[in-house]
Structure 1
Amino acid sequence: MRDALLLWDIDGTLTRSSGAGLHALETALRLELGVTASLADIDYSGRTDRWILRQIFAKFGFAADDAAFTRYLDAYIRALPASLVTHQSHVLPGVSEALERVHTHDRWAQALLTGNVERGARVKLAHHDLARYFPFGAFADDSELRNDLGPVALRRARDFHGVDFPAHRVIVIGDTPHDIACGRIIGAQTVAVATGLHSLAELQSHQPTAAFASLADPGFAALLNAL
């Protein structure tokens, strides 16, 4: 029976998109809303896609409603595949090995806990042949607030595997302070990796269970061994 659950962030944790997502958002802004502008000043690190969209709409004075969000997200999803190619999005060190190790272990399970909408998450993962590792997850579609997503992920894990994973056997893995906070809300262990926009020292100041420069750090393999 599976008794440990790893919940993964995507951007800055599994992959580095080098601005592909931001470029796709700016393309959607131009094509859907007729505005050519930079969105680099939006605080997107660790946020959900729907939270980011709300900031974009407020920035340019557009009414934020579900229909408008859907149209904008449709345009973003259409732009995303080409942006991933042109910005040379890539898998981060140690990720492929870690995902495969968890995938082949008969007592471990893994899922997504990401601020991406599910369609965007699937596009990003498929681009790197990583989608096969994640049959379910919690996404921005479920809530605009990242701290709401942990309970959703646990509920879906229970439904999918038929197991109530105890909090001390759940690990939330991400690259921002928001990931650490999200894991703490559900009582999970938290692993922070400095492969995004935040330094190792900054992440450590938020007191995760463990913090590493990257998932290639031998310490992360040792943590998995401790499971």
Structure 2
Amino acid sequence: MLILFDIDGTILLTHGAGVHAMLDAGRELFGPDFTFDGIETSGRLDPLIWRDLAERNGIGDADSHHDAFRQAYRKYLSRRLTDNPQTQLLPGVRPLVESLNGQAHVTVGLLTGNYPETGQIKLTAAGLPYEHFQLAAWGSDAPTRRDLPPVAMQRYTEVRGDTVAAESVLIIGDTPHDVDCAKFHGCRVIGVGTGRFTAAQLFEAGADHALDNLQHTEDVLDWILKTPDPVAE
């Protein structure tokens, strides 16, 4: 079984540090008028957010500026999370990850829109570093979020030496994008109402199971391992 956690809004909250760091990066590279107005971030891939930012700010040839933006974003995110510690590990995440890692037949990984370097900065700031996860599908690994589950499944094969069926993959996330990418490939999905969307909204979007948070570790673990019928809480 492969369990894949989203990062922002599912594992942790940075309370806006990521958006502010992207804004810092844009203003360093393109001037003080660089704006984030009207840009949607929830559940989206960082490279796609950059493309939207480039279009919004009239920056031509976004691809040629992408690496510079990515490097500056990393710098400012690290600075913000170091100088003003504010990252919050969400309730129940640590005991759930640790319990899943204790299951011999379970592989725990990440499926996230973050760049690998900035995702790992956030995890470290939350006190749950990347070493808790055996693999990851990052936002820079594929053109859309729907393309990330196959990336994670291929990495499972590289780590475990065998294949995993889609129905044995579970994605845990806080947005309809997480639900969509799971259901598109026939994976199961738990929606967690710790981001911008409620558990009810995520269940309506198609989640197999929906919770306000992950704090009831034994109940969540029981559902994951026993694969019950869909239910909303």
Secondary structure at 1:172 match in 2: strand
Q: Which runs of 5+ in 1 are unaligned?
A: none
Alpha-carbon contact 2:36-2:53 (below 8 Å) kept: yes
| Structure 1 position 139, deviation (Å) | 1.1
**What secondary structure, in the 3-state scheme, does the structure 2 residue paired with 1:111 have?**
strand
Which residue matches 2:230?
none
Identity rate, percent: 32
Structure 2 residue 149 is matched with structure 1 residue 153? no
- Which residues in structure 2 correspond to 1:177-188 (within 5 Å)? 177-188=176-187
**Could you list the per-position Cα deviations for residues 100-135 of structure 1 after superposition, in whole angstroms to 9, with x for gaps in the alignment?**
111122111011110011111111112223211123
Question: What does residue 71 of structure 2 align with?
Answer: 74
Partner of 2:28: 31
User: Residues 91, 64 of structure 1: CA spacing in aligned structure 2 closer, same or farther, 3 A cutoff?
Assistant: farther
Q: 1:89–1:172: structure 2 CA closer, same or farther, 3 Å change rule? A: same
Report the alpha carbon displacement of residue 185 of structure 1 after superposing the two structures with TM. Answer: 1.8
CA RMSD of aligned residues (A): 1.6
The offset of 1:67, in angstroms, is 3.0
| 1:38 Cα deviation after fit | 4.3
State yes or no: 1:9 paired with 2:6. Answer: yes
- TM-score in terms of structure 2 length: 0.91
Give the gaps of 5 or more residues in structure 2: 228-233
TM-score (norm 1): 0.93
Greater relative contact order: 1 or 2 (C-alpha under 8 angstroms, separation 6 or more)? 1
Who is 2:118 aligned against?
Answer: 120
**Deviation of 1:41 (Å):** 2.5
Q: SS state of the match for residue 80, structure 1? A: helix
How many angstroms does 1:168 deviate by? 1.9
Using the TM superposition, name which of 124-133 and 79-88 deviates more: 79-88
The 1:34–1:181 alpha-carbon spacing in structure 2 relative to 1, beyond 3 Å, is: same
How far apart, in 2, do the equivalents of 1:125 and 1:224 lie?
23
- Does the residue aligned with 1:43 lie in a helix, a strand or coil? coil
